[in-house]
């Protein structure tokens, strides 16, 4: 039997961490065992429940009592990239917690066995403090360090192990020089580990993260308790990892969350602008996608549908993120495909399906032959216009939300009209005059110059029509103003209109006019009708100001187009 007397040393524990439970103390023991394994490159540590109690064993060099006296471990500081801890305070705090919670602890190594006891402090007999008690080694040949805990609840051990990435079974999705990106465990918050040890939990993170390269702010934030590490300390590193990662699994998670941005249900990572833009670039490179804003979804549904029909995945983004993508390229140099970029590509691949005049129906030919008469209403053809063509297909309009009705191509000096405009003289004339005004003015839609030119054209047509029609000598029945008379025409369809509707007879008379003779209005009520008509056309053109400037037009081939008439019953069925 050994005759060596036990030796005592004061642990000199100052502030006791009252908030610590047994799980936090066990966490420190496991962290020390893992650090020793990393430093000595030995076998995995063992954590098991035995007849003696819970044991935690490593295969390292064995703990000495001097390790309990130091406040800073120089070896760990020199190998900070390998280990979890750096101070010697963690083990002493753990011993104090076990003692306070009534849990027995015994530390065994070839250098001796250590237990705890309360004894009077040296030179202060009335003050009792916690001391370590050093016994001769129970096994001088022991390899490593074995810690025995008696009275520890199973749930506390399970909770202690859950602090460590090693025991969490979280899948690594991607590895970067800043750390690892992990798949978040279902039903549990996202986690932020620092060198494998839990530092924070994030309810609204899409992934978990293990940070292995620390910033100065993180080193400062990792306090003695290893808890309450604020997001500000690790946000930079999480962003660094996401920007440096090229894992398809991570991209898919970010793509899903980006799609949730516009719904307001996205996780926090993609709310960081840099991460969102990076994810869009990667997604653009990996998949056929088109990025759109909620405004574009509403204003350009036809172009969005074109993208879907072409096999593109539609990703809806907030306006702020969507705006940042304009003009960007992905990592292969390809442009990031927003709806404007897709529309340009779509229009570049577009081809007209021209119809020869002799292939038109007789009714269509009759209307098409009136083109010189229509041009004569505004002073004839502008010299820049060389030809007028009919096509059964048409590029999308300025907003990309429907097919245009007509287009003026300055580069080819031609006006192209969609075939369905030949269904009536009214529609063909309106579209042709619109494009003639573009050619004459040189201005595109939604511009002040075009509005002025269109107003001038309408005024010219109205003046010619009014001067050719005899002024009515009969008084108005109710002496109402033209505006109020116009409003009366908005009565239900069962009431006869104030002026005669267009009829086949009226069309025949118009067809018999000379090519440059403006239409005559012989009826006494024709003048108010013409005035109201002109006002309605102008109002319709003004409504086009709400539409954005067309982005599908090549800068080298500017083209002017007539906006779709949304009030026409026929136009609603021609998408």
Instruction: Summarize pLDDT for 267-280 with one digit per residue, the tens.
Output: 999 999 899 999 89
- Calculate mean pLDDT across residues 11-38: 87
DSSP codes of every residue in 141-183: T--S-EEEEES--HHHHHHHHTTBGGGTTPPEEEEETTEEEEE
Report the relative pairing of strands 104-109 and 112-121 from DSSP bridges: antiparallel
Three-class DSSP category at 220: helix
Return residue ranges of the chain for CATH 3.30.2010: 353-461
The confidence score (pLDDT) of residue 514 equals 39
Of 218, 229, 214, 216, whose CA–CA distance to 178 is shortest? Answer: 214
Q: Is the pLDDT of residue 264 over 90?
A: no
Rounded distance, CA 295 to CA 278, Å? Answer: 22
Q: 169 to each of 160, 163, 203, how far by Cα in Å?
A: 15, 12, 19
Three-class DSSP category at 86: coil
Fold of 353-461: Zincin-like (3.30.2010)
R_g over Cα of the chain? 41
* Owner of token pair 């309605």: 536
Q: Which of 327-331, 348-352, 420-424, 539-543 has the lowest mean pLDDT?
A: 539-543
Q: Is the pLDDT of residue 165 over 70?
A: yes
Three-class DSSP category at 298: helix
Cα 400 → chain centroid = 22
Q: 372 to each of 411, 421, 548, how far by Cα in Å?
A: 22, 16, 32
Q: Is the pLDDT of residue 163 over 90?
A: yes
In sequence order, what are the beta bridge partners of 72?
Answer: 87
The confidence score (pLDDT) of residue 485 equals 36
Q: What is the pLDDT of residues 206-260, one digit of tens each?
A: 999 999 988 877 777 665 556 667 888 899 999 999 999 988 899 889 888 887 8
Q: Is the pLDDT of residue 348 over 80?
A: no
Q: Which residues contact 7 (CB under 8 A, 6 or more apart)?
A: 133, 134
- 419 pLDDT band (50/70/90 cuts)? very high
Q: Which helix (H) or strand (E) holds 432?
A: helix 425-441
The confidence score (pLDDT) of residue 225 equals 54
Q: Which residues contact 347 (CB under 8 A, 6 or more apart)?
A: 395, 396, 552, 553, 554
Task: Report the predicted TM-score, pTM, of the whole model to 2 decimal places.
Answer: 0.61
Write out the two tokens for 174: 């991607």
């Amino acid at each position: 039997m050994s005759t060596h007397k036990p030796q005592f040393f004061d642990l000199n524990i100052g502030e006791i961490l009252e908030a610590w439970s047994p799980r936090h103390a066990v966490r420190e023991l496991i962290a020390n065992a893992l650090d020793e394994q990393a430093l000595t490159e030995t076998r995995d540590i063992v954590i098991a429940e035995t007849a003696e109690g819970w044991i935690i064993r490593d295969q390292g060099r064995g703990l000495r009592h001097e390790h309990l006296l130091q406040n800073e471990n120089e070896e760990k500081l020199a190998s900070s990239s390998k280990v979890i801890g750096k101070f010697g305070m963690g083990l002493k705090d753990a011993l104090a917690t076990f003692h306070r919670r009534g849990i027995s602890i015994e530390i065994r190594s070839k250098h001796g066995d250590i237990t705890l006891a309360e004894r009077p402090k040296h030179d202060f007999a009335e003050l009792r403090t916690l001391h370590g008690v050093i016994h001769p080694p129970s096994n001088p040949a022991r390899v490593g360090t074995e810690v025995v805990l008696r009275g520890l609840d199973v749930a506390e051990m399970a909770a202690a192990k859950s602090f460590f990435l090693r025991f969490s079974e979280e899948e690594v999705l991607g590895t970067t020089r800043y750390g690892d990106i992990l798949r978040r465990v279902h039903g549990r918050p996202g986690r932020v580990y620092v060198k494998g040890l839990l530092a924070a939990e994030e309810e609204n993170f899409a992934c978990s993260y293990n940070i292995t390269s620390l910033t100065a702010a993180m080193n400062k934030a990792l306090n003695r308790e290893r808890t309450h590490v604020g997001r500000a300390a690790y946000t930079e590193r999480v962003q660094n990892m996401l920007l440096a990662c090229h894992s398809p699994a991570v991209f898919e998670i970010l793509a899903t969350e980006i799609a949730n941005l516009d719904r307001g249900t996205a996780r926090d990572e993609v709310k960081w602008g840099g991460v969102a833009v990076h994810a869009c670039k990667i997604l653009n490179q990996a998949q056929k996608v088109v990025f759109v804003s909620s405004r574009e979804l509403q204003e350009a549904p036809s172009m969005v549908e074109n993208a879907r029909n072409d096999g593109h995945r539609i990703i809806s983004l907030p306006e702020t993120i969507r705006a940042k993508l304009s003009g960007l390229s992905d990592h292969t140099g390809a442009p990031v495909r927003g709806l404007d970029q897709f529309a340009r590509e779509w229009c570049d691949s577009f081809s007209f399906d021209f119809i020869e005049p002799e292939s038109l129906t007789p009714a269509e030919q009759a209307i098409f032959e009136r083109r010189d008469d229509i041009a004569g209403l505004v002073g004839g053809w502008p010299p820049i216009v060389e030809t007028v063509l009919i096509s059964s297909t048409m590029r999308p309009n300025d907003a990309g939300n429907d097919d245009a009705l007509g287009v003026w191509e300055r580069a080819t000096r031609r006006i192209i009209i969609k075939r369905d405009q030949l269904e009536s003289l009214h529609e063909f004339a309106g579209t042709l005059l619109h494009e003639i005004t573009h050619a004459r003015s040189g201005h595109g839609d939604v511009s002040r110059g075009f509005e002025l030119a269109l107003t001038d054209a309408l005024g010219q047509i109205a003046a010619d029509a009014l001067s050719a029609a005899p002024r009515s000598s009969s008084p108005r029945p109710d002496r109402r103003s033209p505006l109020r008379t116009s409003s009366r025409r908005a009565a239900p369809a069962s009431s006869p209109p104030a002026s005669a509707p267009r009829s086949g007879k009226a069309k025949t008379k118009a067809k018999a006019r000379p090519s440059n003779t403006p239409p005559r209005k012989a009826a006494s009520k024709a003048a108010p009708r013409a005035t109201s008509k002109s006002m309605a056309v102008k109002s319709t053109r003004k409504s086009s100001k709400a539409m954005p400037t067309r982005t599908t037009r090549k800068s080298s081939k500017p083209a002017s187009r007539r906006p779709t008439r949304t009030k026409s019953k026929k136009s609603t069925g021609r998408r």
